[in-house]
Structure 1
Amino acid sequence: MNTATSELLTVPEVMERLKVGRSKVYDLIRTRRLASLKVDGCRRIPDAAVRDFIRNQMGEAA
């Protein structure tokens, strides 16, 4: 997998990484807790946004 492709994740890939369901991922996007963009109508989430979300969650839990 090349770097450009690995930087943008699909919703199923984010579901797997966060171990949550599809509706939860879309809820996080809707509430702007997880940044995303649309590429020709397809929702994509930057890998960095997922890492930031996890880091923020860890900070809130501490």
Structure 2
Amino acid sequence: MSIAPVDLAPLTEDGHPLPVLLTVEEAARCLRIGRTTCYVLIRTGELESLTIRGLRRVPADAPAAYLARRRAEHRAV
């Protein structure tokens, strides 16, 4: 019986794993918007998020995906 290799999370320069989930505040900083605006984007479904035991978290790739959609919408106009 063989064990499949497990991909480890990429590491930062100081050896810590890159985050998989962001707090709302961290996601807001990534997008250079306010926390309240970030919550509005989450509430309207524009920014993906999930709740883990009552804590709201944003997948680390969600801010980039949101920006990509906005850029595509802007090009289509």
Structure 2 length as normaliser, TM-score? 0.71
Letter in 1 for 2:57: R
Q: Distance in 1 between matches of 2:35 and 2:65?
A: 19
1:2 aligns with 2:21: no
Counterparts of 1:31 and 1:51, CA distance in 2 = 17
Aligned mates of 2:31, 2:61 — CA distance in 1: 13
- In the alignment, which residue of structure 1 is the partner of 2:58? 45
Structure 1 runs of 4+ with >4 Å offset: none
RMSD: 1.1
TM alignment of 1:27-38, pairs within 5 A: 27-38=40-51
Larger radius of gyration: 2
Identity %: 37
Q: How many residues align?
A: 60
Query: Secondary structure of the equivalent of 1:43?
Result: strand
Unaligned runs of 5+ in 2: 1-15
Normalised TM-score (structure 1):
0.86
